[in-house]
A = this chain, B = another copy of it.
């Protein structure tokens, strides 16, 4: 259950150490956090807007997304969570959740007590620093999403999201080479980019026709990674991943 190989919190630890190394003791404290593991189906809600959560959930495997719904019922996806992401750092220090989190795929979720984690953050400076950095990087990604949705056209938006996803997956050691399994429908991609599913479909076909990507089912292959980055006005700076952090440095 706590083999270092498949420990449910291993990706969390990896993420914490993306921005600064932890002392051995802190590393141990993280891996020794008591947790409860749950297996949940795709579509399950992890958090609902308005909830007062007592647990902090970590995605041990699987994908999820943050979302908000407007008054007239349309949905905006705000972030995609990948394995290792702490789903509600948000809620760890705020009492009421301001958005919902829903599973994109079936997933294993580790629940950690809010108080335990809070205490760790406040008493261990290195862990505190790491968590703050995580939070700040998440904010940085949100800023980039505002730019994406506010000032880029449809083709740029889609290309940008694909690039971001690829780089984030790679930094967590989760990519096949030059491609990945997109865990979302075109409608979800539309809700992430402020478009409609019909238009997303046309744009994807356009990117394919122009030789930037190729697709089969939901698998995206980067036929021309350089050109895709250009098409998406993508620069990885905002992800704050230093170059030597990435594994194979494929991208």
Contact = CB atoms under 8 A, between A and B. Distances in A.
Contacts of A78: 143, 146-147
A186 to B, nearest CB: 16
7 closest cross-chain pairs (CB), A and B: A150-B194, A142-B142, A71-B233, A149-B150, A122-B125, A76-B147, A139-B139
A187 interface: no
A23 to B, nearest CB: 14
A62 B105 CA distance: 47
20 contacts: A50-B237, A68-B143, A70-B147, A71-B233, A74-B151, A76-B146, A78-B143, A78-B147, A90-B136, A90-B140, A93-B129, A93-B132, A94-B137, A96-B237, A96-B240, A121-B132, A122-B125, A138-B139, A142-B142, A145-B146
Chain copies in the assembly?
2
B93 A136 contact: yes
The DSSP consensus for interface residues of chain A is helix
B238 A143 contact: no
A30 interface: no
A133 interface: yes
A142 B139 contact: yes
A75 interface: yes
A144 interface: yes
A150 B68 CA distance: 11
Contacts of A40: none
A98 B140 contact: yes
A193 interface: yes
A75 B145 contact: no
Given A128-B122, A142-B143, A149 B194 contact: yes
Contacts of A72: 233
A89 interface: yes
B99 A143 contact: yes
